[in-house]
Amino acid sequence: MLILLGYLVVLGTVFGGYLMTGGSLGALYQPAELVIIAGAGIGSFIVGNNGKAIKGTLKALPLLFRRSKYTKAMYMDLLALLYRLMAKSRQMGMFSLERDIENPRESEIFASYPRILADSVMLEFIVDYLRLIISGHMNTFEIEALMDEEIETHESEAEVPANSLALVGDSLPAFGIVAAVMGVVHALGSADRPAAELGALIAHAMVGTFLGILLAYGFISPLASVLRQKSAETSKMMQCVKVTLLSNLNGYAPP
């Protein structure tokens, strides 16, 4: 919702200000310029990414228009779940959690927190490390290092779609210049026309530069920032799980 609101503000202020100067919106309607810029941007996106990155970026796009699932209620559910798991392990031993982590969707503890069950990333992170702790094959420092590595890997993978969009955004002003230069070339090729027509052709050519900059900094580049913010939210949740499990391993009992 905020993204759409931001887009409306961008369009309203840019075109509203243009109309206030006495400009005509019809002069800005240049579909050929838009085809050049958008087509070149899509082409550069395909060239600059492998299949996995392209698929990941397309998969991430719908997430931009959804509300963040990591709300205060989600954090409270996570802390409550971890508290109950750690309390049970303190009272009955770590092996008492085996049934809960082997099939969390049928666990009475996990079933009390449907938000966590619906988040496959968080659910797998909790279950996998509880299973690893129960196995007893790794000490606290090794588990912490493994957690840090997984969180870093998650952040690195989540950065790919954001970087892809950022690169497209950075390229659009240049493609706008390309479209403008092509328009100027066309105008200069028509130098024998009356001055009024020649001026109109040059004005139309300049629309390419305008569109490239507007699309880059008003539409595409901000999306990369939103993706990074969403990735950071997931990382914070994983850090919360990490700190809780490691504290329990180090002997800090839940209050």
**Rg (Cα) of the chain, in Å, rounded?**
27
Task: Quickly tell me which residue has 């958008």 as its tokens.
Answer: 38
Mean pLDDT, the chain, rounded, equals 88
User: Domain locations in the chain?
Assistant: 28-60+159-232, 72-154+241-249
pTM as predicted: 0.79
CA 126 to chain centroid, in Å, comes to 23
Question: pLDDT at residue 149 above 80?
Answer: yes
Q: What is the pLDDT of residue 255?
A: 54
* pLDDT tens, position by position, 180-224: 888 888 777 776 777 777 777 787 888 889 999 999 999 999 999
Question: pLDDT at residue 23 above 90?
Answer: no
Task: Quickly count: other Cβ atoms within 10 Å of residue 100's Cβ.
Answer: 20
DSSP assigned state of 220: I
* DSSP calls for 89-124: HHHH-GGGGHHHHHSGGG-HHHHT-HHHHH-HHHHH
Q: What is the pLDDT of residue 194?
A: 76
φ and ψ at 199, to 5 degrees? Answer: -65, -40
